[in-house]
Amino acid sequence: MANLQDLKAYLEEKKNKIDETLKKILPISKGYGRRVIEAAHYSLFNGGKRLRPILCLMGYELSGENSDEILIFAAGLECIHTYSLIHDDLPCMDDDDFRRGKPSCHKAFDEATAILAGDGLQALAYECFTHKELLKKVNPVNLLKAINLISKASGFKGMVGGQMEDLLAEGKKGSARRLKWIHEHKTMALIEASLVSGAILADLNKSEIKTLSKFGQNLGLLFQITDDLLDILGDENLLGKPLRSDLKKKKLTYPALFGVEKARSLAEDLAKTSLETLTTFGERAALLKELIIFILNRVN
């Protein structure tokens, strides 16, 4: 059994380890080209929760192994997530001037630098995923499988495709099918891949990976629906951005399509299903279970 305090302590510990790892892999250099690294740093160390890398560590820990061994891999997932945030905020995309209470990357720097910072962070992610220190502990074929999974989850058939459709859906009459497709691709795919990649690195068996994959999907969707709800019900100070920005942009979201109550009830159903899916892992999944409750009730 784990409680909320255990989870919070765990999240804090892992966040610090991920941050240290990121700082080591992307030191601010002197000389030419420095500006784009500064911009990447600015966005990378802007108070992110490190959910994706932590999910990767949690997937790995289901095997009983020490996840410190794959910190550099997990850190790569944060690079992908951060690149996507930088590009999403651009004027021609979601046009968000603020991110977690600070000017977004293209406001703090400029558009060209922000685009390049995102591009460089995506490359850095794969530098992390293929770091030679991983070979001490991880089977190289498993490593290649995990990278392949993440590349698909973040590309045209995943996150990038989802962001495209999200933009196209703005201000249009939405359908539940379209909304589900967008959320599955834009958010769910990388969250699922984060958790599952950790399990692949730990060499969990096929049936366990299948279960985790299903769980990761529910978790990803839950995360997105609670995100949509926070845009309406949240606290601006805790969120670090203005409320109702999705509404203003006429984004296709669960509350917009179904109303707040129905969206909240959907989130609760997803949390329930997620908890059930985890029973097969028993006590090993205690923290993952607590994480579900934490996300259901999240305030930022």
Q: Which residues bind a second copy (CB under 8 A)?
A: 26, 32-33, 35-37, 40, 83-84, 87, 90, 92-93, 110-113, 115-116, 118-120, 122-124, 126-127, 129-132, 135, 140-141, 143-145, 147-148, 151-152, 154-158, 160-165, 167-168, 178, 181-182, 185
Copy the structure tokens of residue 107: 């406001």
| Of the candidates 291, 221, 298, the residue with the CA atom closest to the CA atom of residue 254 | 221
Q: Given the complex with a second copy, which of 150 and 292 has the nearer CB atom? A: 150
| Nearest distance from C-beta of residue 218 to a second copy, angstroms | 21
Q: Given the complex with a second copy, which of 180 and 272 has the nearer CB atom? A: 180
The partner residues of 98 in beta bridges, in order of sequence, read: 103
| Nearest distance from C-beta of residue 138 to a second copy, angstroms | 10
Whole-angstrom CA distances from 237 to 107, 172, 221, 273 are 20, 30, 24, 31
Q: Given the complex with a second copy, which of 32 and 173 has the nearer CB atom? A: 32
| Nearest distance from C-beta of residue 131 to a second copy, angstroms | 7
Residue with tokens 């550099």: 72
Copy the structure tokens of residue 252: 């296709």
| Nearest distance from C-beta of residue 108 to a second copy, angstroms | 15
Copy the structure tokens of residue 11: 């999240």
| Nearest distance from C-beta of residue 157 to a second copy, angstroms | 8
| Nearest distance from C-beta of residue 215 to a second copy, angstroms | 24
Amino acid (1-letter code) at residue 20 = E
Q: Given the complex with a second copy, which of 135 and 247 has the nearer CB atom? A: 135
Q: Given the complex with a second copy, which of 161 and 216 has the nearer CB atom? A: 161
Q: Given the complex with a second copy, which of 121 and 267 has the nearer CB atom? A: 121
